[in-house]
Chains A and B, each alone.
Chain A
Amino acid sequence: MSETGAGRHVPPRDSGHGGRGDDVTREAVLARAFVRLADTLASDFDIVDFLHGLAEDSVEILRAAAAGVMLVDAHGGLRLIASSDERMRLLELFELQGAQGPCLDAFSSGRAVQANAADGRVRWPVFAPQASGAGFQVMCAVPLRVRTDVIGALNLFRGSDEPFTGTEMEIAQAMAEMAAIGLIQERALRERNLLAGQLQAALNSRVIIEQAKGMIAEYLTMTVDEAFKLLRSYARYNNRKLSEVASDVVHRRIPSAALGRPRGQQS
C-alpha cells in the first residue's frame, strides 16, 4: 500500500481512491476484500452471504463479467452456492448437470484452469458452447484450497476475449484460498461449539435425572431405584428423551403422580 503522506492526517477507512491511478485503487479494493474474507468468526456469520461477497469482489477486482462459487457437499459432489448474476447461475447449474467445465476441473485437479472460447470447445464440448451462447469468451476457475484440502472452486468468466493475466490468476487463487481458510476455521469453531454444547447438556442431564428420581421417590413414597424405573418407562412409553422428562418433572410440568398411572405402563 502507498503511504498516506507525512503528518497526522488519517484518511477515512473507506477511501479507496488515493488519486494514484487504477493500481492503487485496485490494491485498496483488494485489501478490503481480504479483510472481508478473513472475517468468518463473527457470531452472525452466513456462508451464503460470505460467498456472494467473494463472487462480487472477484468480479470487481479481476474485471470479470461474472463469477460463481461452488462448494463440495457431504457426499463429495459440488453444489452451486453463490453467483454474481442470474445468467451465471444458470450456466453453472448447466456445468454441474453436464458434469464438465472449468469449475469441475479446478476442483478435481486442485489447480487453476483457463480457456478461451476455442480451447473451451475442445475441453468441454457440451459446456463451452453454452458459455459462449451466454456471452462469455474467457473461462477460468481456481480451487478453494487449503494445502491439500480442496473444498470447492471459484469460476470467473469474461465477456471479452482478453485472457486473465498471470497476476490476475494469482489474485484469484489467493482470494479463493483465503475464503477456504476462513470457511474451514468457521466450520472448526462451529463444530467445537456444538461438541461443547453436547458435553454440557450431558453433564446437566445427569444432574437433573438424579434430582427427578429423588423428587418422584419423595412424592410417591418409593425408593429412588423404583422412581427411576417409573421415569424410564414413562419416557419410553411417550417416546421422549429421559433427560427431557426428568426436566419436566423437576420443573413440575409433569406431576410426579402422572408417572404412576396405568398409562405409564407400570406393572
Chain B
Amino acid sequence: MRDDGRRARIMAAVTEHDTTAGVGELVQRLCRFAVDEMALSGCAVVLMSGAESASVLAGAGRHARTVTGLQMELGEGPCLQAHASGIPVLLPDLSAGNANRWPAFAAAALAVGVHAEFSLPLTVGPGGIGTFDLCRDRPGMLSDEHLADALVAADIARDAVLYQPYTPGGSGLPELLATVGTDRTVIHQATGMIAAQLDDTVANAQARLRAAAYASGRSMYDLAHDVVERRVRFDE
C-alpha cells in the first residue's frame, strides 16, 4: 500500500534511530514533526473520553495547548466534535461561516491568533481515544500531502498510546495518565463542591461553573481555585 511508505517515512523522522523512546517522547516528536513540516503554530495529541476528561498528552508550537484549553473553558469546539463523530473537522478559516457552529470558540481562537484549525480523531473501531489537533496562525487549507501526512501521524499516535511497549521502569497507562491533564483537577474538585452546594448533578454544576466564568470574563481555572479555597460559593 502507498501509505506504508508514508508511515515508514514519518516513523523514521520521529524515531531518529532511537527506538527506545517511550510513548510520551514519541508523540512529542510527532507534534514537533507536524509543526516543522506543515508550518503550524500548534499541534497536540489530546486524549479524551468526553469533554471533561480531555488531556493534552503532548504538544508543540506556541499554540500547542491553546485550542484544547479554549474548548475546555467553553465546552465546545471542533476537537470535541471530531472525537464524538469520528470524522475529521477541517476549518481552514475560523473567520468564515462554517466556524459559526462554535461561535464562542471561533471568536476566542481568533482573539489569541489561531486562524485555522484541523482536528483528526484517533479512532478505534466505532469509538475513539482522542484527537490529533493542528492549528495555524494564518488562514489556509492543509495541502493534500500534508493532510495525508497528518492522518498517518494520527494513526501512529493512536497506536503508540494503545500499544505502549512494556518497559520494566513502568511507562504503562497509569504512569502515562498521571503525567497529563493534572492542571484540570482543580476544576473537577470545584465541580464536586458546587454540586454539593446546589444539591445538583456534577454535569449541571460544571455548566454553572463554566457559565459563571464566561459571564465574569475569568477563566474556569481561576474561578475554580476560588471555589476550592472557599472564597466563592454558588448557593448564595
Q: For residue B51, give the distance in angstroms from its CB to the closest CB of chain A.
A: 10
How many A-B contacts if CB must be within 8 Å?
A: 94
Q: Does chain B have a CB within 8 A of A248?
A: no
Is the pair A214, B129 in contact by a Cβ cutoff of 8 Å? Answer: no
| CA A156 to CA B146, docked complex, whole Å | 52
Q: For residue A93, give the distance in angstroms from its CB to the closest CB of chain B.
A: 36
Q: Which residues of A contact B195 (CB under 8 A)?
A: 211, 214-215, 250
Contact size range, A: 20 to 34
Is the pair A199, B161 in contact by a Cβ cutoff of 8 Å? Answer: yes
Taking CB as reference atom, which chain A residue is nearest B233? Answer: A218
- Which of A210-262 touch B at CB < 8 Å? 210-219, 224, 250, 256
Q: For residue A249, give the distance in angstroms from its CB to the closest CB of chain B.
A: 8
Which segment of B2-10, B84-92, B109-117, B173-181 sits at the interface? B173-181
0/1 interface trace, chain A 184-215, chain B, CB 8 Å (1 if under): 00000100110110111111101110111111
0/1 interface trace, chain B 127-170, chain A, CB 8 Å (1 if under): 11100000000000000000000000000000001110000000
Is the pair B53, A211 in contact by a Cβ cutoff of 8 Å? Answer: no
Is the pair B162, A196 in contact by a Cβ cutoff of 8 Å? Answer: yes
Is the pair B197, A210 in contact by a Cβ cutoff of 8 Å? Answer: no
| CA A195 to CA B55, docked complex, whole Å | 17
Listed in ascending order, the chain B residues whose CB lies under 8 Å from chain A are: 47-50, 52-53, 55, 124-125, 127-129, 161-163, 173-174, 177, 181, 185, 188-197, 202, 228
Given A195-B162, A211-B202, A224-B228: A203 touches B193 (CB 8 Å cut-off)? no
| CA A218 to CA B163, docked complex, whole Å | 40
Which of A199, A213, A217, A256 is the one whose CB lies under 8 Å from B162?
A199
Which of B52, B163, B177, B188 is the one whose CB lies under 8 Å from A214?
B188
Q: Which residues of B contact A218 (CB under 8 A)?
A: 192-193, 196-197
| CA A219 to CA B195, docked complex, whole Å | 10
Is the pair B47, A199 in contact by a Cβ cutoff of 8 Å? Answer: yes
Q: Which residues of B contact A210 (CB under 8 A)?
A: 185, 188-189, 191-192
| CA A211 to CA B190, docked complex, whole Å | 7
Starting from the known contacts A196-B129, A211-B192, 19 additional A-B residue pairs (CB-CB under 8 Å) come to A196-B162, A198-B173, A202-B174, A203-B181, A204-B49, A204-B50, A206-B181, A210-B189, A210-B192, A211-B189, A214-B191, A214-B228, A215-B195, A215-B202, A217-B189, A218-B192, A224-B228, A250-B192, A250-B195
